[in-house]
Amino acid sequence: MSVDPLLKMENISISIRGSPIVQGVSLQVKPEEIVALIGPNGAGKSTLVNIMLGLLRPDSGRIVIKNGLKIGYMPQKLIVPDTLPLTVQRFITLGKPASRIIVRELLIEVGAERILDSPVQKISGGELQRVLLARALLRQPDLLVLDEPIQGVDLNGQYELHDLIGNLPRKRGCGILMVSHDLHLVMATTDHVVCLNRHVCCSGHPDHVARDPAYLKLFGIEGARTLAIYHHDHHHDIHGSVEGK
Amino acid sequence: MDEFLLRVLFGGFGVALIAGPLGAFIVWRRMAYFGDTLSHSGLLGIVFGIVLDVNPALGIAVTCLGVALALVLLQRQQSLATDTLLGIISHTTLSLGLVTLASLETVRCDLASYLFGDILSVSITDLYWIWGGNLFTISILVWLWRPLLAATVHEELAYVEGIPVFRVRLIFMLLIAIVIAVAMKVVGILLITSLLIIPAAAAQRFAQSPESMAVLASFFGCLAIGLGLYASLQWDTPAGPSVVIATTTLFILGSAVSRWLQP
């Protein structure tokens, strides 16, 4: 069975101020599929996401987006100025007007209904991620783009949030592209993993990627096991092989 | 109340009303230095107004807008830190304005009134400009409110949600340029930013929503105009600076009261 992808990137390359950030990357997200984009810091994950969202224009390559595709986006870092009095309810409806009842239902869905009227600056990191997810869901997206969705969330919250995200495609029929720096965190929920280090090192089913030599080389055997804190002690050339140092 | 006083108050309120909401956005977006830079370039606009024989308000608005556009383009190149860029443009345009104004030998003008305002000499024509600019700016701001607020909170997210953030930013700059043009008469180009920022900062402590902060800022601005003018007439102090001191006094009092109100 072949389904048209929601979004398809072909051979995308971009250099920023002379240095190549992303080179010849192709990937696609199909309906109800969860694709994880993983890679170490500086691998070009966020750059690729920005290209996908139309925030950056690639130097070369092609992006095909399904007609009328609605994207819900959850940015990696969001700091609301302290000077701006804004409740969670107002924050969520900034993207699209909605009644209080609808916003409350969404917050119940993401498990954060307690904070409906809290100032958005006063909520915890984990609550903010849920609120951002609620704001993205309010648009009833066909494709969710989540940039490091569990950043700043405590360990228990991480599992909860992953469960929540993992169930979204079935519940809402949307595709998800999720950025993470850690394969093990996304392994359980993901259908397809793309391992990025400027170019695509390897991709496929998470179990397959975890055993892929290119993946092990990128993160190191030890790093592949623990890898939440990854020390980049060697340099990759553009082909992904390690330069001596 | 005699006609003179009414005219002055009416002019001051016209500026303070629109300075409130726009000042709130400048506070939220951390654009105080940007506002300073635009208003400093206003002196150059006054010179253009004199040379081309048009109303100085028009000269200021067009010049500020030109400088704002130039800033956007320069910022895109990212070869200099934004505050450095602002520092260069701010003081260069101010100096250019001073130099060219001095070289216009045929014109006799009161430089101090441009720099620090001359609200006591506000004319009926000035009132038309002030309230015309005020009503235009307020209606645009009401129309632009939600997209501008969304872009202020997070520009990329707003863009993905379908808001034309670049156009929104340009319109916002246009509004700042207009407000600087009409506020020049009241507090002068060196003090305009204070009328935008201080009432908004005072309002922040009491506001529960963006809208209430904007409205409260307008209220504090009007109050400061009243107090400043009263002080100016009572003790014969310069009107513009007196208004600014009044806003600061309100800000300090407000901080004290809000602290006292909190448990």
CATH number of B114's domain = 1.10.3470.10
pLDDT over 90 (residue A245): no
Say what percent of chain A tops pLDDT 70. 89
- Where residue A231 falls among pLDDT bands split at 50, 70, 90? very low
Residue B137 has what pLDDT?
94
Q: How confident is the model at residue B108 (pLDDT cuts 50, 70, 90)?
A: low
- pLDDT bin (cut points 50, 70, 90) of residue B167 is very high
B67-106 residues touching A, CB cutoff 8 A: none
Determine the Cα–Cα distance for residues A87 and B155; give it in Å rounded to an integer: 18
Q: Please list the alpha-helical segments (H only) found in chain A.
A: 45-52, 88-92, 100-110, 125-138, 155-172, 183-186, 206-211, 213-219, 221-225
Mark yes or no for CB contact B160/A86 under 8 Å.
Answer: no
The Cα of B35 is separated from the nearest Cα of chain A by a number of Å equal to: 17
Query: Would residue B148 count as lying in a domain?
Result: yes
- Domain-located, residue B166: yes
Nearest-angstrom CA–CA distance, B101 and A135: 53
Question: CB B260: neighbour CB atoms within 10 A?
Answer: 7
Confirm whether B263 is domain-assigned.
no
What per-residue confidence (pLDDT) applies to A244?
Answer: 40
Alpha helices in chain B (DSSP H): 3-28, 32-52, 56-77, 82-103, 111-116, 124-153, 155-160, 165-187, 192-204, 210-235, 239-261
What's the average model confidence in pLDDT over B168-177? 91
From A88, which residue of chain B is nearest by alpha-carbon distance?
Answer: B209
Lowest mean pLDDT across A2-11, A89-98, A101-110, B145-154? A2-11
Q: Is B215 left (phi over 0), alpha (psi -120 to 50) or beta?
A: alpha
Q: What residues of A are in contact with residue B158 (Cβ under 8 Å)?
A: 94-95
Helix/strand/coil for A196: strand
Name the strand (E) or helix (H) holding A11.
strand A7-16
Q: What is the pLDDT of residue A221?
A: 56
- Smallest CA–CA distance, residue A139 to chain B, in Å, is 8
pLDDT tens, residue by residue, B55-89: 888 888 899 889 988 888 887 776 778 888 889 99
Q: What is the pLDDT of residues A6-58, one digit of tens each?
A: 999 998 999 888 888 888 899 999 999 999 998 888 888 889 999 999 999 99
**Which pLDDT does position B209 carry in this prediction?**
94
Residue B168 is assigned to a structural domain of this protein: yes
- What is this model's ipTM? 0.85
Q: In the predicted model, is pLDDT for residue A155 greater than 90?
A: no
Computed over every residue of chain A, the mean pLDDT equals 83
**pLDDT for A220:** 67
Average pLDDT over residues B89-117: 83
Q: What is the pLDDT of residue A1?
A: 52
Nearest Cα to Cα of residue B134 among B262, B260, B10: B10
Helix extents (H) in A62-149:
88-92, 100-110, 125-138
Q: Decide if B11 is inside a domain.
A: yes
Number of domains in chain B: 1
Check pLDDT > 50 for residue A234.
Answer: no
| Closest chain B CA to residue A74 | B157
Task: Give CA–CA dist B29/B9, Å, rounded.
Answer: 30
Quick one: pLDDT at residue A228? 43
CB distance from B150 to chain A under 8 Å? yes
Report the residue of A94, A139, A143 to disrupt the B interface, i.e. the one with the largest count of B CBs within 10 Å: A94
Residue of A nearest to B207 (CA): A85
Closest chain A residue to the Cα of B150, Cα to Cα = A94
Q: Give A134-151 pLDDT, tens digit per residue.
A: 999 999 999 999 998 887
Q: Are A44 and A198 in contact (CB under 8 A)?
A: yes
Question: Is a pLDDT exceeding 90 seen at residue B149?
Answer: yes
Beta carbons of A96 and B161 less than 8 Å apart: yes
Helix, strand or coil for residue B219? helix
Residue B181: what residue type?
A: A
Residue B67's domain comprises 3-191
The residues that bridge with A190 in the sheet, in sequence order, are none
B160 touching A (Cβ < 8 Å): yes
Q: Inform me whether the C-beta atom of residue B216 falls under 8 Å from chain A C-beta atoms.
A: no
Mean of per-residue pLDDT scores for chain B: 89
The answer, for B30 touching chain A at a CB cutoff of 8 Å, is: yes
Chain A CB within 8 Å of residue B149 CB: yes
Do residues B229 and B245 touch, judged by C-beta distance below 8 A?
Answer: no
- The answer to whether position B254 is within a domain reads no
Please check whether residue B68 lies inside any domain of the structure: yes
Confidence of residue A217 (pLDDT cuts 50, 70, 90): confident
CB contact under 8 A, B209 and A91: no
Nearest CA among B173, B222, B229 for reference residue B195? B222
Six token digits for residue B70 = 């130039």
Please check the confidence at residue A91 and state whether its pLDDT lies above 90. Answer: yes
Answer whether A3 touches B (CB < 8 Å).
no
Q: What confidence score (pLDDT) does residue A2 get? A: 66
Hey, how many other C-beta atoms are within 10 angstroms of the C-beta on A113? 16
DSSP state of A119: B
